[in-house]
Amino acid sequence: MESNGVDQERLLGLEAAEQSGLKQRTWAELKLMWRIAFPSILARVTSFGMIVVTQSFIGHVGELQLASYALVQSLILRFSNGILLGMSSATETLCGQAFGAGQHHMMGIYLQRSWIVDVVTATILVPLFVFTTPIFRLFGEEEEIAVASGPIALWMISILYSFVFALTIQMFLQAQLKNMIVGILSASSFAIHLLLSWLFVNILDLGVSGAMGAYCISSWLMVFGEYVYVFGGWCPNTWKGFTKAAFNDILPVIKLSISSGVMLCLELWYNSVLVLFAGYLKNATVAISAFSICLNICAWEFMICLGFLGAACVRVSNELGRGNSTAAKFAIKVILCTSIGIGLIFFVLCFCFGKQISYIFTSDEEIAEEVSSLSTLLAFSILLNSVQPVLSGVAIGAGFQGTVALINIGSYYAFGVPVALLLGYVADLSVKGLWIGLLSGVLLQTFVLSIVIWRLDWDDQVKKASERLNRWFLTEPEDTN
């Protein structure tokens, strides 16, 4: 009897030790996750805020200018930003795994390779901004809007190239857990942008040129701050200066960048495609207005989700680089649970304040009623947003973007869009039908991607990460600069 009592006490002691160890591991992982996610969230929210502030100041210049800016920003700039963001995510994969493997000097080389690839990509996209007016005419836009969009699009070329360096340097710093500086620089640029916009538009009365000039200056100020941080000696182990080695093995980087670009672009453009279809519904003005308001709310909340995407990418890539598949799987669980918890909070808020939210954007009762009728779908969209980006972050961290791109094509465009068109037009459910179709595509993508990640052989992913890093590894001679 005594021995049984001793055995039970030992078992209870072991269980208590395991629970204590689990709590400590979870707490340590949470601190590490927020160290990555919070600056990323701050940077995303303030960067998105610069677009909104510019739109607000241009809106006070005139309706024609506002419509032109909205069209250029939502179609041309978002299209280009989606490509560059996707191409830049290859930097997250390579730098994250290199940092985890202790190949710190390779991170600077990967950064320079990403600059080469992304600058070429941005240059290929420049004609979209140069020929915006004829492109909009081809789309059937009003002549006044098409003509007014041309000068605004030319201003956007500067923004396009700032994205190349801002995105890649952010991912370079994030991979080595130094992204707090990115959040600080982004928030500072946002504050400066507010001041410059007010000065150029309201005080100096420079109109659209003043608003766009303020946007360009603020965007490049952030890039300049990142340059100072990287080149000024705050990254001594990961930045060794410019090197010709950046031009070596460029083709595999291009291949990974294209896979990343396709993966993220298909996700970012999905909503835009359905907004385009909403323009052909009955009472299109109300439909587009209500749909766009709901999608703007989703976009703001999605900035938070992108922070968790970055956290998942960095943690997974770091642990795979270290060869620790168990830690990678544990990080995924912690980040996913945290993201879902925050998603549930916004889910409840959408149910409680569905109609009230619309009055932030409009005073039109008909549009407000339409937004209120969509609040349930908005709530479920936000809940799915808390899951899907984390899974995408895991894919980027592990480096299997090509697989996710195929899943996105099947889920979004082969399934979601046809269902949306069927429900929206054939079943005559209007905007609700389009959104249900949108949600069905996201739900299918989330379900398939969850199964893929669940069944993934993480030890094999460690092996692949090691092979990739060893194949591209270069020694660190003193004269690499």
Taking residue 299's Cβ as centre, other Cβ atoms within 10 Å add up to: 15
> For position 362, what pLDDT does the model report?
58
Structure tokens at 67: 């419509």
Local confidence band at 275 (pLDDT 50, 70, 90 cut-offs) = low
CA dihedral 46, 52, 58, 59 (to 10 degrees): -150
> For position 177, what pLDDT does the model report?
80
Report yes or no: 165 and 115 within 8 Å, Cβ to Cβ.
yes
Tell me how far apart the alpha carbons of residues 25 and 340 are, in angstroms, rounded to a whole number.
19
Examine the pLDDT at 130 and tell me if it is beyond 80. Answer: yes
The one-letter amino acid at 230: V
Q: Is 416 exposed, middle or buried (0-12, 13-18, 19+ CB in 10 A)?
A: buried
Tell me how far apart the alpha carbons of residues 253 and 168 are, in angstroms, rounded to a whole number.
13
Structure tokens at 211: 């608003």
DSSP output for 77-98: IHHHHHHHHHHHHHHHHHHHHH
Structure tokens at 50: 């610069």
Q: What is the mean pLDDT of the chain?
A: 81
* Mean pLDDT confidence for 129-140: 88
pLDDT tens-place string over residues 142-197: 788 889 889 999 999 999 999 999 989 988 998 888 888 988 999 999 999 999 99
Residue with the bigger pLDDT between 393 and 225: it is 225
HEC secondary structure over 412-481: HHHHHHHHHHHHHHHCCCHHHHHHHHHHHHHHHHHHHHHHHHHCCCHHHHHHHHHHHHHHHCCCCCCCCC
Structure tokens at 4: 């049984």
Examine the pLDDT at 1 and tell me if it is beyond 60. Answer: no
pLDDT tens-place string over residues 58-106: 877 877 787 788 778 877 887 788 788 777 777 877 888 888 888 888 8
Examine the pLDDT at 211 and tell me if it is beyond 60. Answer: yes
* Mean pLDDT confidence for 114-131: 92
Cα→Cα distances 465→133, 245, 318, 394, Å: 46, 20, 10, 13
> For position 84, what pLDDT does the model report?
85
> For position 178, what pLDDT does the model report?
86
Structure tokens at 135: 């492109």
Examine the pLDDT at 2 and tell me if it is beyond 60. Answer: no
> For position 368, what pLDDT does the model report?
73
> For position 187, what pLDDT does the model report?
92
Domain-wise residue ranges, the chain: 29-248, 259-474
Taking residue 153's Cβ as centre, other Cβ atoms within 10 Å add up to: 24
* Mean pLDDT confidence for 243-261: 75
In percent, how much of the chain has pLDDT > 70?
84
> For position 3, what pLDDT does the model report?
47
> For position 276, what pLDDT does the model report?
60
Tell me how far apart the alpha carbons of residues 217 and 134 are, in angstroms, rounded to a whole number.
28
> For position 327, what pLDDT does the model report?
87
Tell me how far apart the alpha carbons of residues 241 and 121 are, in angstroms, rounded to a whole number.
23
> For position 260, what pLDDT does the model report?
67
Structure tokens at 39: 């600056």
Tell which phi-psi region holds residue 474, choosing left (phi > 0), alpha (psi between -120 and 50) or beta.
beta
Sequence length of the chain is 481
> For position 190, what pLDDT does the model report?
93
> For position 379, what pLDDT does the model report?
86
Examine the pLDDT at 284 and tell me if it is beyond 80. Answer: no
Report yes or no: 270 and 295 within 8 Å, Cβ to Cβ.
no
Tell me how far apart the alpha carbons of residues 152 and 470 are, in angstroms, rounded to a whole number.
46
Beta-carbon contacts of 49 under 8 Å, excluding residues fewer than 6 positions away, are: 190
> For position 165, what pLDDT does the model report?
93
pLDDT tens-place string over residues 400-424: 777 877 888 888 888 988 998 898 8
> For position 88, what pLDDT does the model report?
78
> For position 185, what pLDDT does the model report?
92
Residue with the bigger pLDDT between 133 and 398: it is 133
The one-letter amino acid at 192: I
Number of H helices, E strands in the chain: 19, 0
Task: Name the one residue in this structure whose structure tokens are 């990640």.
Answer: 453
Tell me how far apart the alpha carbons of residues 380 and 235 are, in angstroms, rounded to a whole number.
42
Give me Rg for the CA atoms of the chain: 24
> For position 239, what pLDDT does the model report?
92
Local confidence band at 273 (pLDDT 50, 70, 90 cut-offs) = low
